[in-house]
Structure 1
C-alpha cells in the first residue's frame, strides 16, 4: 500500500511524492519541461540601405519592425536569432539606434559594418579593416586664440568626454579614448578572413566623426597621431553605447575610397563586406552552440 505524506498543516504533498519517485529534488527539477531560455540575438548595424539590405536578405524568417525611423530586420541564421538594424548616418543616429536596440532586443553581441574612407596608403579600395580599436575624430579642445590669430587644428588637444563628470579641464580629460574590440568577435573575424577574396583583411584603428575628410594633410594627421586606418561616421558612438551596457562589440569596415592613394569611390564594396560579415557571424554563432 502506498504511503501518503502530510505536512504540518495536514496538506498532502503530492509533488514531493512525485519528486521522490523520480529520484529526488534537484536544481533542474524547477524548470518546466519543454521550455528553453530564449537565445540572445546578435545585432548587425549599418547606416545606409546599401550597408544592410544584402545581409538582411540572407536571414530566414525575417520580420520587419520600426522604432521611430530606425528599421529592424529580425530573423535567424543557422537557427540563431540575428537582428539587422539600419541606423541612419552619423554619430547621434548610430548611438540612439544602438541604445534602442539594446533595450528592446538585449543582444549578446554587436557588429557594426559598412563602408569607410582609407587613411592608410597601404590599404586599397575593397580592403577590409577589423576595428581592433575605435576612436573619436571630432572631440577636441581648441587653443585659446584672439580674433585674427587664426585657426590651427594641429594644436587642438584631444578631449575625452568619458574621463570625468567635470568640465574637462583636467589633464585626465586631455587624452585620446579608444574602445577595444571584443576578442571573441575579433577571433571569429580573423578565422574567416581567407574567405574574403575581394581584398585583404587587416586589423587596425577605425576613426569616427560627423565629418567627411578630404584634406590629405588632415587625413595624414589622424593616421600618424591617432593611428587610424580608416574613417566613418558611426562606429565610435556605437562602441561607446555597447561599452556602457557591457556588450561585446566589433567594427568592421570596407574601404570604399582612399584619398591617400587615389582610390576612387566605389559604393559597391558594401555588398561583399556584408557577405564577409555573414561568415563572421556564422563562425561566432558556432562558438555559442
Structure 2
C-alpha cells in the first residue's frame, strides 16, 4: 500500500514538474516571440495632413492596406522593405493630436516623421525650399494684457505662452519641442537627393491660423524665430513627447508673403516634401 502511494506521489510530482517546465518554456517562448515581433514589425510612421502630402508615399509603397479609425486613415505597407505606416492626420491641431495618439496606440511606431507643406516666414526661404524643423513651437498659444473697452487690440504686444506637460507627476513647461537629433542627422544625410530647392534647418511654427499679413509674419519671424508656419507639427510633437517617441518635422514651402515669390503651389510642394520623406525613411534604416 505504502509502495503504491509512493509511486503515485512520485508520478504526480513528475507530471507537475513536466507541466511547469512546459509552461515556463512556453511562457518564455511567447515572451521572446512578442519581443522579436515588436523589433521586426515596429514601423516608421510618416504623416501628412492632406492627400497631396501623402500621395507620393503611397505611390512608393505600391501595395498597402488601408485602415480607418474614426475619421483618420492609416496605410500600412513597406518602402524599400522597410515597415511603414502612413497617416493622413487631416488639417489642424486637434486632428493632428487625435490622429497621432491613435497612431501610437494602434501601430507602435519607433519614430514619427511629420511632413507636409508650409508658408514661409523667413525672407531667405523660397517656395519649394524644404525646412528640417529642428524645433517646433505652438505660435497659436498666446496671452494678451488687459485693455479697456474701446482701447482696441494690440497684437504686437501679445506674448507666447509655454506648453505645460506633466512628467513623472511634475509639471514641465516647454517653449518649443525639439526634433530628435538622430533623425535630423538622417534627414541631412540625404539632403543632396532633394533637387527642387534648398534644404535648411529651421524652426516650425504651428497654429490653427493661416497668416497672410506681412507685418504679423515678420513679427513671428523676428520675435519667435520661426522659419515657416503650418497647422499640425507642434501638436504632433507634443503627443510624441508625451509617449516618448522620437519625432522629426519636415516642411516644404508652398507659398510665402515675404520672399518675393509670386507662386503658391500646395500640390507640387506636397509631392516634393513626401518624396524627400521617402529618402529620409531609407536613411533611417541604413
TM-score normalised over the length of structure 1:
0.84
**SS at structure 2 position matched to 1:213:** coil
CA distance in 2, matches of 1:239, 1:73: 21
CA distance in 2, matches of 1:163, 1:270: 31
Cα deviation, 1:60-108, whole Å, max 9, x if unaligned, reads 5300010111111110123221011111111111111001111111111
Corresponding position of 2:278: 278
- Residues 1:58 and 2:63 are matched in the alignment: no
Alignment map for 1:199-218 (pairs within 5 Å)? 199-218=197-216
Corresponding position of 1:143: 145
Alignment map for 1:13-162 (pairs within 5 Å)? 30-31=28-29, 35=33, 36-38=36-38, 39-162=41-164
Which residue, 226, 246, 254 being the options, matches 1:228? 226
Corresponding position of 1:248: 246
Q: Does the CA contact (< 8 Å) of 1:7 and 1:13 recur in 2?
A: no
Q: Unaligned regions of 5+ residues in structure 2, if any?
A: 1-9
Corresponding position of 2:13: 9
Corresponding position of 2:3: none
Corresponding position of 2:264: 265
- Taking only aligned residues, the RMSD between alpha carbons, in angstroms, comes to 2.7
Corresponding position of 1:190: 188
CA distance in 2, matches of 1:87, 1:130: 19
C-alpha displacement of 1:248: 0.5
Larger mean Cα displacement after TM superposition, 45-54 or 259-268:
259-268
Corresponding position of 1:181: 179
CA distance in 1, matches of 2:270, 2:57: 10
CA distance in 2, matches of 1:78, 1:266: 29
CA distance in 2, matches of 1:12, 1:178: 58
**SS at structure 2 position matched to 1:37:** helix
Distance 1:280 1:15, change over 3 A: same
CA distance in 2, matches of 1:281, 1:69: 26
CA distance in 2, matches of 1:282, 1:240: 25
C-alpha displacement of 1:164: 7.4
Distance 1:194 1:136, change over 3 A: same
**SS at structure 2 position matched to 1:135:** strand
CA distance in 2, matches of 1:8, 1:72: 53
**SS at structure 2 position matched to 1:211:** coil
**SS at structure 1 position matched to 2:76:** strand
**SS at structure 2 position matched to 1:261:** coil
Q: Structure 1 or 2: larger helix share?
A: 2
Report how many residues are paired.
265
